[in-house]
Chains A and B, each alone.
Chain A
Amino acid sequence: MSDHTSVSAGQRRAQRYLPLQILLGFLVIYFLVPFWWVIVNSSKDAPGLFGGGNTLWFADQIDYLGNLKQLFTYDGGIYLRWILNSTLYALAGGIGATVLAVMAGYGFAKYRFAARRFSFAVVLGALMVPATALVIPTFIMFAQLGLTNTVWAVILPSLLNPFGVYLMHVYARDAVPDEILDAARADGAGELRTFVQIALPLMRPAVVTVLLLSAVASWNNYFLPLAMLSDNRLFPVTVGLGLWQGVASANNAGGTSLWSLIILGSLVSVIPLIIAFFSLQRHWRGGLSVGGLR
């Protein structure tokens, strides 16, 4: 957590305003309440959940292990499959989209080629196209190619990340000086080698940011897989939990045991992303400011 504020840190440290910090404290509680509820209530079994006990405190007999076992064995271990599917979609979509966005952003920033301005304007315009407006026609196109209800139906459309291109363009323009690239070329390095060995390291914070944002977008995606997939063994965890919630609500009495699985399932599903965010914090914080500064 390195702050770039060391210049003014001295004066700022003196300004610990108590009322503001208390206000902040209330906000933090608000933002953490749902997490607290989920953590507490995933310790309960179905009777404990509906038994009218304290809804904001743990069960008398905390049984995380038993609940976890139930979660991962329910319906032949379908939950683990959903998590693995989500991981696959997030990694394949995220990495693919990042590679394309980094190359395109660098190309737009560092080469003067025909129709460059026009193409870039089109990409920027695409930021305003509602992603969901693309799902219906893409579904029909994929249906004609026999691609619906396969992993490709989710991965291929996730490769598109115009915002990533915009972010990389802005970053490459400022962080990669033309002089360094020309010096590398003068030393006989080819364009690809110049890109990989000189430009890429300079763009690293933005690359990590774009990777994280694309992977999160794929992991969070709901509309696209919901439309494309009908085999529940291909579902990502978002669609899977949505399915469970629908089932549990439909037969409210009979589906009570499913509720405790959904609660624990939501908790388990958010852990990977939280870990990814916190462990990569140092890298994405630098990149995130770029989009806002221009």
Chain B
Amino acid sequence: MTSITEKRAPRTHNEKRKTRGTIQRREHLTGWLFVGPFGVVFLAFLIAPLAYALYLSLFQKKLIGGTSFVLFDNYVKAFTDPSFLSGAWFVIRFALVAIPVQIAIALAMALILDAVTSLFTRFSRLMIFLPYAIPTVIGAVMWGFLYSRSFGPLTDVFGFFGATAPDFLSKSLIFYGLLNIVTWQWAGYYMIILYAALQGIDPTLYEAARMDGAGRWQIARRIKIPLIAPALILILVFSLIGTLQFFNEPQILRYLAAGTIGSDFTPNMYAYQQAFGLANFNYGSAISFALGGLVFICVYAFLFFTRKRRSFL
């Protein structure tokens, strides 16, 4: 009936009922009706803000002369701005340490929980997952208390052994203080995803491997881990996106660790400070766009390097 019909292989059961054209057109319409509402939200709260942020980032507002089009000046400024660069360097360094640590712990826990089934492991699975139900802000508040010198337990615990308590809110240790918080917060969630993937593996594979003389460790390394590679890549990508956007935890600890965490500690905090602290929306937009670009590059680089092994999505 129409030329659109030629574009796809027809589904045989549809042909029996009516002419392909009518069915096709109706399928187009109903398909769009189902996707449409989400599409509207997607355009309004993702595409439009992104386009607007890009637009804003191309302008500069000056006290004299008002707003003017400056093309990429804001980006040039951002990539030569020590505040942005040090923040970006921090989140990249943090991602390189925090993500392997979180995933290694999550994978180890998932493998243990998959191999050993008892009432205790079932209880452990829930308890380890518990922090995921805690808002990151509250998690940071809780750990802030534990790190606190005035009412945290570290002084007591270390004092008991006659040692001085480390100050995780100090400049030299804040990296580890934050590392601990994000590991606590996310390792359980990643563990649940990996555990679910492990449970989906056909157990007869293990039996076959055992008959071939494979030990427990070999089964884990040669069968289990390769088979859950897609799940591993999925959580790696999500943790990468999340870590580069680091905001909540350092923002909350700022109050406790005055002087250690500045307003430009991470790129996101710097963008927030520029936009809402200094009402410099143009530069704030440029920073968050630059950060978005950084995320994109990192994710694609990562996917490119893992592609040889397995495709994601």
Which residues does A use to contact B, with CB under 8 Å? Answer: 1, 3-5, 7-9, 12-13, 15-17, 20-21, 23-25, 27-28, 30-35, 37-38, 41, 49-50, 54-56, 99-101, 103-104, 106-108, 110-114, 116, 119, 123-124, 126-141, 156-157, 159-160, 162, 165-166, 178-179, 182, 186, 191, 195, 216, 219-220, 222-223, 227, 237-239, 241-242, 245-246, 248-250, 259, 262-263, 266, 269-270, 273-274, 276-278, 281, 285, 288-289, 291-294
Contacts and interface: CB of A to CB of B under 8 A. Distances in A.
Given A8-B203, A113-B28, A238-B138, A129 B193 contact: no
B53 A137 contact: yes
A237 B141 CA distance: 12
Most buried by A among B45, B56, B275: B45
A140 B197 contact: no
A124 B313 contact: yes
Given A222-B137, A241-B137, A241-B138, A55 B152 contact: yes
Contacts of B118: 13, 16, 21
A34 B234 contact: no
A131 B34 contact: no
Contacts of A114: 4, 28, 32
A138 B49 contact: yes
A50 B134 contact: no
Overall SS of chain B's interface: helix
Contact of A136 (B129, B136, B288): B288
B180 to A, nearest CB: 9
B221 to A, nearest CB: 16
Interface of B: 4, 8, 11, 13-14, 17, 27-35, 37-39, 41-42, 44-46, 48-50, 52-53, 56, 105, 109, 112-113, 115-118, 120-124, 126-139, 141-146, 150-153, 155-156, 184, 188, 192-194, 196-197, 199-200, 203, 206, 228, 230-231, 234-235, 237, 241, 244-245, 247-248, 251-252, 255-256, 258, 268, 271-272, 275-276, 281, 284-285, 288-289, 291-292, 295-296, 299, 313
Contact of A24 (B109, B200, B203): B109
Contacts of A24: 109, 112-113, 116, 120-121, 124
A55 B292 contact: no
Given A24-B124, A38-B145, A129-B292, A274 B133 contact: yes
Contacts of B289: 133
A128 B299 contact: yes
A195 B34 contact: yes
Nearest to B137: A238
A31 B132 CA distance: 11
Contacts of B272: 132, 223, 227
A34 B142 contact: yes
Given A104-B37, A111-B30, A288-B196, A130 B241 contact: yes
Given A24-B109, A37-B145, A103-B37, A292 B285 contact: no
A134 B46 contact: yes
Contacts of A132: 245, 247, 268, 271-272, 288
A103 B34 contact: yes
Given A119-B39, A136-B271, A292-B197, A130 B291 contact: yes
Contacts of A124: 313
Given A107-B35, A133-B50, A32 B130 contact: yes
